[in-house]
Structure 1
Amino acid sequence: MPVVNRIADYADEMKTWRRHLHQIPELEFDLPKTSAYVAERLREIGVDELHTGIAQTGMVAIITGQGDGPTIGLRADMDALPITEETGVDHASTHAGKMHACGHDGHTTMLLGAAKYLVETRNFSGRVALIFQPAEEEGGGAGIMVQEGIMDRFDIDQVYGIHNMPGAPLGEFVTSPGPLMAAVDTFTINIQGRGGHGAMPHETKDPVMAACGIATAIQTIVSRNNYALDDLVISVTQIHTGTVNNVIPDTAYINGTVRTFDAEVQKMVMQRMADIAQGQAISYGVTAELDYEIGYPSTTNHAENAKFAADVAREISGDDRVTDDAAPEMGAEDFSYMLLARPGAYLFMGQGDGAGLHHPKYDFNDDASPIGASFFARLVERAQPIG
């Protein structure tokens, strides 16, 4: 694998960083140990500026190159998941019920490796802004960092990010111009009926049957209201109601997720879901209240930046190990907020066989760290060459 030679020399050090981060997983914005460790490494590396306390525990580090030029942003997420680890590795989580099951410890390590190289060589013009972000999994930390003004404050001109991809060959890169990942919304429908004895349903207004009717009818939005070539997923993931076998309850609760790429499709879903909830409620003699929460927007790459990033990836991994026309997927990513604020691109990078993302047996492949760090470093050198 043609990683940058100097970065290859960091492999053992990067493994130490990554495995320490893996042992101290923290959630959402509450990352005191993680952010302190990252800040300590950045100071050791010798970045020119370190700005902490952004979006609570996020930070931006600045490295200055040789000569005037723009600022390129590179982002890594730092938060973990509320999952109990089952890897059995020596560096397993020491925080009960929390683990790095999505590889953010690896993402952070890749960016630290790139930082070490860029400080040593400074073979670029302008500046690099290293964005270490909290709360990707829950909370939209990227959006908060954008709201707090990092793009203007640090004069960031373009921005890039990577996510590891278990199951894909080590070092394979995948991206695409345009939509890459979906917008994600959450819906909750609270149903109020009138409970009673299970032997006397005629005396009740049954929220259980209403919940079943609403959950089934919602699926017609995909099959009958949406144009077949417009991507849309609606999944009912929870129905909670009742306590015992001979009592019809008073209430029921429905919850689920909506994935879209197009704002008009999203708007249609919101309206149809409201109509269906109310119409079904009337037919069952109950009331239904829809709470529709708009979440992360679609992760949409800028075409020119995606092409450039794919070219850099080819330099690192070879032409036959880069896919630059990948089909969009229905997962979501809050890097989308940064791509709404500035041109840029997001890529997936293979890390070989192993448990999938968000699985209790997942562990980041340390062999991937020098590859990702090399990609970030060459991205900067090619985007902002000296002279």
Structure 2
Amino acid sequence: MDKSSFAKLSTFRKQLHQYPELSGEEKETAKRVLDFFKDIPVDKTIQNLGGTGLAFVFEGKEPGPTSLFRCELDGLPIKEENNIPYLSNNSGKSHVCGHDGHMAIISGLGLKLAEKKPAKGRVVLLFQPAEETGEGAQAVINDKKYETIRADYAFALHNLPRYDMHQIVIKKGAFASASVGMIVKLKGRNSHSAHPEAGNSPALAMSKIIVALERLPDAMKKFTLVTVIHAKLGEINFGTTPGEATVMATLRAYENETRDLLVTYAEKLCGQIAKEYGLEVSFDYTEKFAATHNDPEAWDYGNTAAKKLGLKTKHVRVPFRWSEDFGLFSSSTKTLLFGLGSGKKQPQLHEPHFDFPDELIPTGVDMFWEIIGQLHH
């Protein structure tokens, strides 16, 4: 990548970093991306895809496959704690997951495609909304406009702290876990706190559920994880015995089927405890992520690209515990999600001190460009 292109992408990344927007609210971010692409000869631009999403299509002259390269538009509801001149201007919001860097990489791919379009097939650059909540990929796929760009292959990367800079982290099959947010609501009966025996407090049941849910994976044959992330008992009123309680937990597994089985067991467990204490129980679910599976053929394109570029490659054996909604594309498309090492000393993702290293931009662009070369030239 020449100095001019790198400077342009680095400046753009820092601009995106200053104005993060939360999932589903990325209107200004989408406008900035659209403005970046205004001088790039795109064959087709799709706006408002799955909400605020954008897709830029580059057509080849000969028939061939459709490949999709995806990045994320959204930031996080986390206050940034960096000492940098381009600190987030949006209070309580930040790009401490590196989506600003991922957008810069896909934008860099746009610059390359402006110089050399695909010879055959077509390349789609997707800027997807709402990855952090697990809603964006589903919204894009459900959008009728997506049918016009449905891909044969889909590729994405995620920067990974605690791995060497520029290292490619790759795996066939399951790569990132399936997960879901579970909300357990218990309903008992309020009473005066001077007469707790007249009511039915869910306090003990809630305590048991918190402990039991986190121990539930011990009974599972395959890897699962339950993390209780929030609990609430009644309201702050010293004269009243609580009548309601809520427990929230994230349930994870390497496969969608195992996650669903874990949900079934968790519901039975909570139901039994609620019954023991004479309480009503109900369940809600949010932030559902499908497992991300790397197709062997798509994996081969990525692995070959890393070899051609002479990049250090780590072939991991165990899937990552975190989730990525890119997994939804896996059900209908040959997908590859790989990691790009962002430094051994880099703060972890979602930590307030995280900042995407600009020197990764050319590496990400080169990886995707090599894949395009194999598929479209």
TM range (shorter): over 0.9
Specify the code of the residue in structure 2 equivalent to 1:372.
Answer: G
Q: Does 1:37 align with 2:55?
A: no
Instruction: Point out the more displaced range, 121-130 or 306-315.
Output: 121-130
Asked if 1:211 is matched to 2:206, the reply is yes
For 2:281, what is the secondary structure of its paired residue?
Answer: strand
Structure 2 counterpart of 1:92, from 87, 91, 96: 87
1-side partners of 2:28 and 2:257: how far apart?
A: 42
Q: Which of 218, 232, 257 is 2:224 aligned to?
A: 232
Say whether the 8 Å CA contact 2:50–2:141 is kept in structure 1. Answer: no
Structure 2's unaligned 5+ residue stretches are none
Could you say which residue in structure 2 is the equivalent of 1:163?
Answer: 158
**Paired residues of 2:223 and 2:254 also in contact (CA < 8 A):** yes
Q: Distance in 2 between matches of 1:151 and 1:33?
A: 22
Which residue of structure 2 lines up, in the alignment, with residue 276 of structure 1?
Answer: 269
TM-score scaled by length of structure 2: 0.93
1:345 corresponding residue in structure 2: 336
Structure 1 CA distance for aligned equivalents of residues 164 and 75 of structure 2: 24
Alignment correspondent of 1:154: 149
Question: Which moved further from structure 2: 240-249 or 272-281?
Answer: 240-249
Alpha-carbon distance change, 155 to 334 in structure 1, aligned in 2, over 3 angstroms:
closer
Conserved in 1, the CA contact under 8 Å of 2:173 and 2:295?
A: yes
Q: Which amino acid aligns with 1:210?
A: A
Q: Does 1:22 align with 2:7?
A: no
Moved more, 30-39 or 117-126: 117-126
Q: CA deviation at 1:123?
A: 5.8
Tell me the CA shift for residue 159 of structure 1.
Answer: 0.8
Paired with 1:86 and 1:268, the residues of 2 have a C-alpha distance of: 39
Shift of 1:145: 0.9
Q: Secondary structure at the match of 2:23?
A: coil
Q: Is the 8 A contact 1:76 1:108 kept in 2?
A: yes
Aligned length: 375
**Equivalent residues of 2:70, 2:154 under 8 A apart:** yes
Q: TM-score, normalised by structure 1?
A: 0.91
Q: 1:300 aligns with which of 293, 302, 320?
A: 293
Q: How does 1:1-387 map to 2 (within 5 A)?
A: 6=1, 9-122=4-117, 124-149=119-144, 152-196=147-191, 198=193, 200-224=195-219, 226-227=220-221, 230-242=222-234, 243=236, 247-293=240-286, 295-318=288-311, 321-352=312-343, 353-385=345-377
The match for 1:3 is none
CA distance in 2, matches of 1:74, 1:263: 24
C-alpha distance in 1, partners of 2:160/2:119? 29
**Identity across aligned pairs (percent)?**
26
Instruction: Determine if contact 1:52/1:58 at 8 Å carries over to the other structure.
Output: yes
Deviation of 1:54 after TM superposition, in Å, equals: 0.9
| Deviation >4 Å, runs of 4+ | 197-201, 244-247
Question: Could you say if the C-alpha distance between residues 308 and 293 of structure 1 is closer, same or farther in structure 2, counting changes exceeding 3 Å?
Answer: same
* Unpaired stretches in structure 1, ≥5 consecutive residues: 1-5
Tell me, in whole angstroms, the C-alpha distance in 1 between the residues paired with 2:117 and 2:263: 50
Look up the SS of the partner of 1:33 in the other structure: helix
Root mean square deviation of aligned Cα:
2.0
